Amino acid sequence: MKLCRSSLRIIILTFYTLNSPADNILMLRVKEGDLYPMGLLFKRYHRELFGFFYHMSGNPDASEDMVQTAFYRMIKYRNSFTGHGAFRSWMYQLARNVLLDHVEHNKRSARQHNVEDYAERIGGGTLADELLQKTEQATQLRNALARLSEAHREVLVMSEYQDLKYKEIAEILNVTEGAIKTRYHRAMNELKTIYLKNEDER
pLDDT of residue 148: 87
Yes or no: say if 65 and 86 are a contact pair by the CB < 8 Å rule.
no
Q: Which long-range contacts (CB under 8 A, 24 or more apart) does 170-173 make?
A: 171/85, 171/86, 171/89, 172/89, 172/92, 172/93, 172/96
Q: Which domains does the chain have, with CATH numbers?
A: 23-106 (1.10.1740.10), 124-202 (1.10.10.10)
From start to end of the chain, where are the E strands? none
User: From first to last of its 202 residues, what are the pLDDT tens digits of the chain?
Assistant: 454 555 544 444 444 444 456 999 999 999 999 999 999 999 999 999 999 999 998 889 999 999 999 999 999 999 999 988 899 999 999 999 999 998 887 654 434 445 555 555 555 555 555 544 555 666 777 788 888 888 899 999 999 889 899 999 999 999 999 999 999 999 999 988 888 876 666 6
